[in-house]
Amino acid sequence: MELFFMTVVTGIMVGGIYALVALGWVLIYKCSGVLNLAMGELTLIGAYVTLAFYTAGIPFILAVIGTLLVGIVLGYLTERIFLDKLIGEPILAVIMVTVGLSFFFKGMVTFVWDTDTRVFTPPIFDIKPIELGFLKVSPVYLWSFIFAIVLLLVFVCFFKYTRWGLSMQATADDETAALSLGVSARFVYAAAWSIAFMSAGVGGALLGNINGINISVGYLGLLVLPAVVLGGLNSVPGAIVGGIIIGLLQNLSGTYLDQYFPGGVKEIVPFAFMAVFLLFKPYGLWGWERIERV
Protein backbone atom coordinates (compact mmCIF):
# COMPACT_ATOMS: atom_id res chain seq x y z
CA MET A 1 0.00 0.00 0.00
CA GLU A 2 2.89 2.35 0.74
CA LEU A 3 4.30 1.68 -2.75
CA PHE A 4 0.88 2.38 -4.26
CA PHE A 5 0.51 5.75 -2.54
CA MET A 6 4.07 6.76 -3.42
CA THR A 7 3.39 5.83 -7.05
CA VAL A 8 0.16 7.84 -7.08
CA VAL A 9 1.77 10.93 -5.52
CA THR A 10 4.71 10.82 -7.94
CA GLY A 11 2.33 10.32 -10.86
CA ILE A 12 0.30 13.39 -9.86
CA MET A 13 3.47 15.47 -9.61
CA VAL A 14 4.75 14.40 -13.03
CA GLY A 15 1.23 14.91 -14.37
CA GLY A 16 1.37 18.54 -13.27
CA ILE A 17 4.37 19.06 -15.57
CA TYR A 18 2.56 17.25 -18.39
CA ALA A 19 -0.40 19.60 -17.83
CA LEU A 20 1.90 22.60 -18.34
CA VAL A 21 3.10 21.23 -21.69
CA ALA A 22 -0.47 20.24 -22.62
CA LEU A 23 -1.50 23.86 -22.18
CA GLY A 24 0.64 24.76 -25.20
CA TRP A 25 -1.13 22.17 -27.36
CA VAL A 26 -4.56 23.45 -26.29
CA LEU A 27 -3.80 27.15 -26.80
CA ILE A 28 -2.73 26.80 -30.41
CA TYR A 29 -5.63 24.48 -31.21
CA LYS A 30 -8.19 26.79 -29.51
CA CYS A 31 -7.02 29.87 -31.38
CA SER A 32 -6.35 28.42 -34.83
CA GLY A 33 -7.71 24.87 -34.99
CA VAL A 34 -4.18 23.60 -35.70
CA LEU A 35 -2.69 20.55 -33.99
CA ASN A 36 0.90 21.64 -33.41
CA LEU A 37 3.03 18.54 -34.01
CA ALA A 38 6.21 20.47 -33.16
CA MET A 39 5.26 20.73 -29.48
CA GLY A 40 7.81 18.10 -28.45
CA GLU A 41 10.59 20.17 -29.99
CA LEU A 42 9.33 23.30 -28.20
CA THR A 43 9.76 21.32 -24.97
CA LEU A 44 13.24 20.30 -26.07
CA ILE A 45 14.31 23.86 -26.85
CA GLY A 46 13.09 25.12 -23.48
CA ALA A 47 15.06 22.44 -21.65
CA TYR A 48 18.31 23.31 -23.41
CA VAL A 49 17.81 27.08 -23.10
CA THR A 50 17.27 26.76 -19.34
CA LEU A 51 20.36 24.55 -19.08
CA ALA A 52 22.41 27.10 -21.06
CA PHE A 53 21.39 29.90 -18.70
CA TYR A 54 22.07 27.74 -15.63
CA THR A 55 25.51 26.59 -16.76
CA ALA A 56 26.36 30.27 -17.42
CA GLY A 57 26.00 30.85 -13.69
CA ILE A 58 22.44 32.21 -13.61
CA PRO A 59 20.30 30.94 -10.67
CA PHE A 60 17.64 28.44 -11.69
CA ILE A 61 14.67 30.76 -11.00
CA LEU A 62 16.19 33.49 -13.16
CA ALA A 63 17.07 30.87 -15.78
CA VAL A 64 13.40 29.86 -15.94
CA ILE A 65 12.37 33.52 -16.28
CA GLY A 66 14.95 33.89 -19.05
CA THR A 67 13.45 30.83 -20.76
CA LEU A 68 10.01 32.44 -20.60
CA LEU A 69 11.36 35.58 -22.27
CA VAL A 70 13.16 33.56 -24.94
CA GLY A 71 9.93 31.60 -25.48
CA ILE A 72 8.01 34.83 -26.15
CA VAL A 73 10.53 35.89 -28.79
CA LEU A 74 10.82 32.47 -30.45
CA GLY A 75 7.06 31.97 -30.50
CA TYR A 76 6.50 35.37 -32.09
CA LEU A 77 9.21 34.82 -34.72
CA THR A 78 8.00 31.30 -35.52
CA GLU A 79 4.45 32.48 -36.12
CA ARG A 80 5.51 35.53 -38.13
CA ILE A 81 8.09 33.76 -40.32
CA PHE A 82 6.49 30.36 -40.94
CA LEU A 83 2.76 30.61 -40.23
CA ASP A 84 1.53 34.17 -40.72
CA LYS A 85 1.11 33.74 -44.48
CA LEU A 86 -0.97 30.60 -43.92
CA ILE A 87 -3.86 32.33 -42.15
CA GLY A 88 -7.01 31.29 -44.01
CA GLU A 89 -5.30 28.35 -45.73
CA PRO A 90 -6.49 24.71 -45.23
CA ILE A 91 -5.77 23.39 -41.74
CA LEU A 92 -3.93 20.35 -43.13
CA ALA A 93 -1.38 22.62 -44.81
CA VAL A 94 -0.63 24.37 -41.51
CA ILE A 95 -0.32 21.04 -39.67
CA MET A 96 2.19 19.83 -42.25
CA VAL A 97 4.21 23.01 -41.69
CA THR A 98 4.36 22.17 -37.96
CA VAL A 99 5.72 18.74 -38.92
CA GLY A 100 8.45 20.47 -40.89
CA LEU A 101 9.11 22.78 -37.95
CA SER A 102 9.57 19.79 -35.66
CA PHE A 103 12.39 18.45 -37.84
CA PHE A 104 13.88 21.93 -38.23
CA PHE A 105 13.90 22.60 -34.47
CA LYS A 106 15.32 19.16 -33.70
CA GLY A 107 18.09 19.69 -36.24
CA MET A 108 18.95 23.09 -34.79
CA VAL A 109 19.11 21.68 -31.25
CA THR A 110 21.35 18.84 -32.41
CA PHE A 111 23.60 21.31 -34.25
CA VAL A 112 23.95 23.64 -31.25
CA TRP A 113 24.03 21.19 -28.31
CA ASP A 114 24.64 17.75 -29.97
CA THR A 115 22.87 14.60 -28.70
CA ASP A 116 24.77 13.79 -25.50
CA THR A 117 22.79 13.58 -22.27
CA ARG A 118 23.33 16.59 -20.05
CA VAL A 119 22.36 17.27 -16.46
CA PHE A 120 22.08 20.38 -14.32
CA THR A 121 25.41 20.73 -12.52
CA PRO A 122 25.46 21.40 -9.61
CA PRO A 123 22.10 19.71 -8.97
CA ILE A 124 19.27 22.17 -8.38
CA PHE A 125 17.30 20.02 -5.98
CA ASP A 126 18.48 18.03 -2.98
CA ILE A 127 18.92 14.28 -3.47
CA LYS A 128 17.63 13.39 0.00
CA PRO A 129 13.91 12.50 -0.15
CA ILE A 130 11.32 14.57 1.69
CA GLU A 131 9.27 12.57 4.20
CA LEU A 132 5.54 13.31 4.22
CA GLY A 133 4.23 10.93 6.85
CA PHE A 134 4.97 7.44 5.57
CA LEU A 135 5.59 8.79 2.06
CA LYS A 136 9.04 9.65 0.76
CA VAL A 137 9.00 12.10 -2.14
CA SER A 138 11.98 13.17 -4.18
CA PRO A 139 12.48 16.98 -3.96
CA VAL A 140 12.86 17.23 -7.75
CA TYR A 141 9.31 15.87 -8.21
CA LEU A 142 7.82 18.03 -5.45
CA TRP A 143 9.40 21.32 -6.51
CA SER A 144 8.81 20.66 -10.21
CA PHE A 145 5.13 20.09 -9.43
CA ILE A 146 4.97 23.35 -7.43
CA PHE A 147 6.64 25.27 -10.29
CA ALA A 148 4.20 23.77 -12.79
CA ILE A 149 1.10 24.58 -10.70
CA VAL A 150 2.23 28.18 -10.09
CA LEU A 151 2.78 28.75 -13.81
CA LEU A 152 -0.56 27.13 -14.66
CA LEU A 153 -2.30 29.50 -12.23
CA VAL A 154 -0.49 32.46 -13.79
CA PHE A 155 -1.63 31.43 -17.27
CA VAL A 156 -5.22 30.84 -16.14
CA CYS A 157 -5.32 34.30 -14.52
CA PHE A 158 -3.85 35.78 -17.71
CA PHE A 159 -6.69 34.33 -19.80
CA LYS A 160 -9.38 35.29 -17.33
CA TYR A 161 -8.42 38.79 -16.21
CA THR A 162 -6.24 40.46 -18.86
CA ARG A 163 -7.33 42.18 -22.05
CA TRP A 164 -4.95 40.09 -24.16
CA GLY A 165 -6.17 36.86 -22.61
CA LEU A 166 -9.80 37.80 -23.17
CA SER A 167 -8.99 38.68 -26.79
CA MET A 168 -7.50 35.21 -27.27
CA GLN A 169 -10.60 33.57 -25.79
CA ALA A 170 -12.89 35.68 -27.97
CA THR A 171 -10.99 34.70 -31.12
CA ALA A 172 -11.12 31.05 -30.12
CA ASP A 173 -14.88 31.18 -29.55
CA ASP A 174 -15.85 33.16 -32.67
CA GLU A 175 -13.11 34.57 -34.89
CA THR A 176 -15.50 36.56 -37.10
CA ALA A 177 -17.17 38.26 -34.14
CA ALA A 178 -13.79 39.00 -32.53
CA LEU A 179 -12.51 40.58 -35.76
CA SER A 180 -15.63 42.75 -35.97
CA LEU A 181 -14.84 44.08 -32.49
CA GLY A 182 -11.32 45.07 -33.49
CA VAL A 183 -9.39 42.06 -32.19
CA SER A 184 -6.29 41.31 -34.28
CA ALA A 185 -6.21 37.66 -35.32
CA ARG A 186 -2.52 37.99 -36.25
CA PHE A 187 -1.73 39.15 -32.72
CA VAL A 188 -3.77 36.35 -31.17
CA TYR A 189 -2.01 33.65 -33.19
CA ALA A 190 1.43 35.10 -32.39
CA ALA A 191 0.52 35.31 -28.69
CA ALA A 192 -0.70 31.71 -28.72
CA TRP A 193 2.60 30.48 -30.16
CA SER A 194 4.56 32.58 -27.66
CA ILE A 195 2.66 31.15 -24.70
CA ALA A 196 2.98 27.65 -26.17
CA PHE A 197 6.77 28.13 -26.32
CA MET A 198 6.75 29.42 -22.74
CA SER A 199 4.67 26.62 -21.21
CA ALA A 200 6.34 23.83 -23.17
CA GLY A 201 9.80 25.29 -22.54
CA VAL A 202 9.42 25.44 -18.78
CA GLY A 203 7.85 21.99 -18.83
CA GLY A 204 10.93 20.73 -20.69
CA ALA A 205 13.24 22.35 -18.12
CA LEU A 206 11.39 20.64 -15.27
CA LEU A 207 11.37 17.27 -17.05
CA GLY A 208 15.10 17.71 -17.72
CA ASN A 209 15.72 17.98 -13.99
CA ILE A 210 14.08 14.60 -13.51
CA ASN A 211 15.53 12.56 -16.38
CA GLY A 212 18.44 14.60 -17.70
CA ILE A 213 18.36 16.44 -21.02
CA ASN A 214 18.94 14.88 -24.43
CA ILE A 215 17.10 14.68 -27.72
CA SER A 216 14.52 12.28 -26.21
CA VAL A 217 12.97 15.15 -24.21
CA GLY A 218 11.19 15.96 -27.48
CA TYR A 219 9.46 12.59 -27.26
CA LEU A 220 8.34 13.40 -23.71
CA GLY A 221 6.66 16.48 -25.13
CA LEU A 222 4.82 14.31 -27.65
CA LEU A 223 3.82 11.95 -24.82
CA VAL A 224 1.56 14.75 -23.59
CA LEU A 225 -0.73 14.31 -26.63
CA PRO A 226 -2.90 11.68 -24.89
CA ALA A 227 -3.43 14.15 -22.03
CA VAL A 228 -4.61 16.81 -24.49
CA VAL A 229 -6.98 14.43 -26.27
CA LEU A 230 -8.29 13.06 -22.98
CA GLY A 231 -9.14 16.48 -21.56
CA GLY A 232 -10.41 17.93 -24.83
CA LEU A 233 -8.37 19.65 -27.52
CA ASN A 234 -9.85 23.07 -26.77
CA SER A 235 -10.22 22.91 -22.98
CA VAL A 236 -7.65 24.47 -20.62
CA PRO A 237 -9.09 22.74 -17.51
CA GLY A 238 -9.15 19.54 -19.56
CA ALA A 239 -5.41 19.91 -20.28
CA ILE A 240 -4.70 20.14 -16.54
CA VAL A 241 -6.87 17.17 -15.60
CA GLY A 242 -5.68 15.13 -18.60
CA GLY A 243 -2.03 15.76 -17.73
CA ILE A 244 -2.51 14.51 -14.18
CA ILE A 245 -4.45 11.44 -15.35
CA ILE A 246 -1.75 10.51 -17.88
CA GLY A 247 0.96 11.03 -15.25
CA LEU A 248 -0.90 8.64 -12.96
CA LEU A 249 -1.41 6.04 -15.69
CA GLN A 250 2.22 6.17 -16.71
CA ASN A 251 3.54 5.77 -13.18
CA LEU A 252 1.12 3.03 -12.19
CA SER A 253 1.81 1.02 -15.34
CA GLY A 254 5.56 1.46 -14.86
CA THR A 255 5.35 0.22 -11.30
CA TYR A 256 2.98 -2.72 -11.75
CA LEU A 257 3.26 -3.79 -15.41
CA ASP A 258 6.95 -3.32 -16.28
CA GLN A 259 7.81 -6.48 -14.34
CA TYR A 260 5.48 -8.51 -16.58
CA PHE A 261 5.97 -6.68 -19.88
CA PRO A 262 9.52 -5.32 -19.91
CA GLY A 263 10.43 -2.87 -22.64
CA GLY A 264 8.83 0.50 -21.89
CA VAL A 265 5.20 -0.35 -21.26
CA LYS A 266 4.78 2.95 -19.37
CA GLU A 267 5.29 4.85 -22.64
CA ILE A 268 2.73 2.69 -24.48
CA VAL A 269 -0.10 2.66 -21.95
CA PRO A 270 -1.10 6.37 -22.32
CA PHE A 271 -1.53 5.98 -26.09
CA ALA A 272 -3.43 2.70 -25.70
CA PHE A 273 -5.70 4.34 -23.15
CA MET A 274 -6.23 7.30 -25.50
CA ALA A 275 -7.26 5.00 -28.35
CA VAL A 276 -9.83 3.18 -26.19
CA PHE A 277 -11.09 6.40 -24.59
CA LEU A 278 -11.78 8.00 -27.98
CA LEU A 279 -14.16 5.16 -28.84
CA PHE A 280 -16.50 6.39 -26.10
CA LYS A 281 -15.70 10.14 -25.85
CA PRO A 282 -14.44 11.35 -29.26
CA TYR A 283 -14.25 14.98 -28.09
CA GLY A 284 -12.54 14.29 -24.76
CA LEU A 285 -13.88 15.12 -21.30
CA TRP A 286 -14.53 18.82 -21.94
CA GLY A 287 -13.98 19.23 -25.68
CA TRP A 288 -16.47 21.13 -27.83
CA GLU A 289 -18.78 18.84 -29.76
CA ARG A 290 -19.30 20.07 -33.31
CA ILE A 291 -22.89 19.81 -34.53
CA GLU A 292 -23.40 20.41 -38.24
CA ARG A 293 -26.89 21.07 -39.58
CA VAL A 294 -27.68 20.21 -43.18
Task: Read off the pTM.
Answer: 0.86
How much of the chain exceeds pLDDT 90, in percent?
Answer: 12
Mark the ranges of the chain whose per-residue pLDDT is less than 70. Answer: 88, 172-175, 263, 287-294
For residue range 18-59, what is the model confidence (pLDDT) as tens digits?
888 888 888 788 777 778 888 888 899 999 999 999 999 899
- Residue 238: what pLDDT? 85
For residue range 213-252, what is the model confidence (pLDDT) as tens digits?
888 888 877 788 888 888 888 787 888 888 899 989 988 8
List, in order of start, the domains of the chain with CATH numbers. Answer: 2-280 (1.10.3470)
- Residue 291: what pLDDT? 53
Shortest CA distance to 42 belongs to which of 15, 12, 77? 77
